[in-house]
Amino acid sequence: MNFNSHTDAVVRAAVELVNAFTEGERRGRPYTPPGPDELAEAARAILSLSGGVPLSRPELDELAAVARDLRAVFAAVAAGDVDAAAGRVNALLDATQARPRLERHDGEPWHVHFHGSGRGVADMWGAPCATGLAVVIGSELQDRLGVCTAPHCDRVYVDTSRNGTRRFCSTACQNRVKAAAFRARAQTP
């Protein structure tokens, strides 16, 4: 499922920010975000920042706060509470002062970008991530946002498959669940 290239990119960035910056469980194990240096490296990769762009500890803390807000959106959708998800997205749009702007770059045609207030990297990325989620939630495709249903995993995902039946954040979690079900069936007399 493709929304459009920019929306796909910012929703994917939202997923990656949530999964890198928020505590919880991942693939059957507790997950704690890495230290500042590793987290800064992950943020640079997720946000496609050049290697020379330094991210300060306060900027990483702001990105972590945005990631927690984004996680709440995924959790609300997964719980079937689209109204709560929409309210959280609207709060993020207000906080980041997201505003549309037509842009053309990299040989692409004109398309809409949503920039934040420019007060920092968290607003510069929080605004487009919130806008991408707003586009998804505002369409009939909000059920494409999810939280992994594997035991001991709470990583988020966006389902881009044709049939929209994804339930796991990764094939590793899907395989864990299938293997556990197989073992349970094998033990049944």
pLDDT at 164: 87
Cα–Cα dist 63/60, whole Å: 5
Q: How far is CA 80 from CA 15, 28, 142, in A?
A: 18, 24, 10
What distance lies between CA 150 and its chain's CA centroid? 18
Longest CA–CA span in the chain (Å) reads 64
pLDDT at 3: 57
pLDDT at 107: 87
Residues 6+ apart with CB under 8 A from 137: 73, 77, 82, 85, 86, 89, 145
Please give the structure tokens belonging to residue 126: 């929080």
Burial class (CB in 10 A: 0-12, 13-18, 19+), 27: middle
**What's the whole-model pTM score?**
0.88
pLDDT at 59: 93
What stretches of the chain show up as alpha helix (H) in DSSP? 5-21, 36-46, 57-78, 82-96, 121-137, 171-187
Burial class (CB in 10 A: 0-12, 13-18, 19+), 158: buried
**DSSP state, residue 107:** T
pLDDT in tens, the chain (189 residues): 555 667 888 999 999 999 999 999 999 999 999 999 999 999 999 988 766 667 899 999 999 999 999 999 999 999 999 999 999 999 999 999 998 888 888 888 888 888 887 778 888 899 999 999 999 999 988 999 999 999 999 999 999 888 889 999 999 999 999 998 888 888 877
Q: How far is CA 85 from CA 80, 104, 116, in A?
A: 9, 30, 20
